[in-house]
Chain A
Amino acid sequence: MTLPPSVLQQRIPLGDLLDLKAFADVCHSFAELYRVGLKVFDEASNKLVDVKVGNADFCGYIWSKPSGREQCMATVARVRSDPIGDEPGPTAFPCFSGCRYVVQPVLYEGDVIGRVVFGPYVPDDLVALPASLTSISADFDARLADGYAEKIRRVPEGTAEKILKHFMDLLDVMVFTGHKNLITARLHIEAVQESYRELQEKNRALEDSFAKLKELDRLKSNFLATMSHELRTPLTSVIGYSEMMLEGLGGPLTAEQREYLGIIMEKGENLLQLITSILDISKIEAGRIRLVLSEVDPGQLMRDAIATVLPLARKKGLKVACEPGHLPRLHCDREKVRQCLVNLCTNAVKFTPAGGSVTVSAEPATGDRLAIRVADNGIGIADELLARVFDVFFQIDGSSTREYGGAGLGLAIVKSFAEAHGGEVQVSSKVGAGSIFSLVLPLRPTLPAPALTPSAPFPALGG
């Protein structure tokens, strides 16, 4: 990558360093003050300013003679482009008319960037108009020309140089100021352009990696969906055949065999649940989640959820309470909300030690919503981890020897299902004191059309 050439690398012509209109005003005022004409050329001999003072009649008369015009043009060409070196001093250019010009280079940072032509003026030592002028034509009227010449200022040599020096000092400041302003402005623009270019480059890189990540994420979700589906098929057979054997279809069983088969079945069910969760998550991530909405009694859902975890809670010695109270009906996907509550209750039971309690309650929330709370007095969650508990596969204790099992999918599923309803999950917790998870759902979800499937007899969640 190479940057485009900066203004700092370029040589700037005199005309760009000055505001030409304002500069012309200064030159006019200066020429008026000293009553002498002034011309300024840039390095390429382009005329930037031309102020004539007093010489219009005189020069006009000379111009009326063909030979005079010719010689005048030659003089002007000389003051304009004859080499004058690069020393900061004046060079005198006599005119055939007896007048005189002084020319000085405009130097900036050691470079010649133009020249100033001061004149024409009548030199102090000129006594009479020279023959080079009076002989330009046979009908030249010397008295008339003399009269015109009187209108041009007579300047002693030393004065001319002082006036010119004064002008050069002024010009130097104007050029310096102009250069400074030009660089400030141009560099500002260049800096902005450069920052923009850099940002664009970064954006492109970010977009690229974002696209790559999205693709990887999609592949992962696909893989999960396929795998969980593939895993479920043989597992169903394992469970099915175990059940058949338990029912005695394969012949009589001993008590021990019966117990072992019971364990196989129970663990098989656990595994099936886990795989189903993974399938749910991969569906959620692939954006294939569909809601089947119907009128539901939230109290019933709460009792169902409690009933599901009751055996485990009893085994652990936990007190379980359900306080449904009097609740409005909820328009929601019954199966998904039930699963949310089961997940929350399962967690509460899992993370509450013996002697603790799990309470499910509900109350109306702001904005026509219902909040269903699952509270426990278990181990709680540290503040800094609260925000992450809803992440997929997140485990507070991620070590392989952790005390509590699970795939880290339960809360992620709750969150996704709640959001699919246009609701949310809230959590508040204190380490050692317990946690409260609130599932807040709108009584009547207003959802974007594609996510809504009207209450229909066919299952929208396929698989």
Chain B
Amino acid sequence: MLIRSRPTIRYSEVTPKATYLNRRQLIAGVAALAATAPGLAAAAKLNGAPSPYSIGEPPTALEHITTYNNFYEFGLGKDDPAKNAGALTTAPWSVAIDGLVGKPGSYALEDIVPAVLEERVYRLRCVEGWSMVIPWIGFPLRDVLAMAEPTGSAKFVAFETLVRPEEMQGQRGGFQTLDWPYVEGLRLDEAMHPLTILAVGLYGESLPNQNGAPLRLVVPWKYGFKSIKSIVRITLTEDVPATTWNLQAPNEYGFYSNVNPGVSHPRWSQASERVVGAGLFAARRETEMFNGYAEEVGAMYADMDLARYY
């Protein structure tokens, strides 16, 4: 795998300027999505400049990426989000950015998404023991955080998913599996890390609803559930924010939840993973420390006992 901690060339050198998506086109794309939403068919084209952070592996089939999802707001089955997420309205969309920031407020999606996007081909490793390779289209989270100007006392970033029971059928009914909203969090240095992105698309098109449209987090060295979907709030905090799966089962899902083959989930091993789309007789893949990003992110956890801070 070819990953450098810092790009050796600028994106502008990699991608001809003509292929940059200009702001107007992006806004038009989002508007088109709004007009034709719900559903997959509404996907708008999005260009992303190639990134040196991408892994050189063939992506998982789009069909698998869009039909095998954990998005409990739309049901507990892996195929439920694909069936039910079409009901979600993703435009207009705004994100509240608040807490310890100089410029708190409600930001329209168009004001957060930059004109120039990148394609990041990342492996997504689910805590359940499977993985996919997904060509995300997005931009570094740190650009958005910088825009809101975190204050000196900010140490963590908390995220919140939409609560809209009338469109999210998993949030309706008497028997609720999780408490809503789904919440997640990162340490500020993790959030500012260049690998951490907000994604607005995949496979060159805007995000399908079941993958977390219109805006989701992607933190490639952590288990998939950390990469929160359909974000409506980003809050800078001084204290460790609550996270949904940690609230659900604190002994099983820690705040960090870094991919770590050496630390088992209490109920199953994390040493290896099934590769989605590889077929019935495919070999398991040995899970890599930090999902293969040890060189880039290892330093952030240098002094930590990762068995304790799982």
- Is B truly associated with A? no
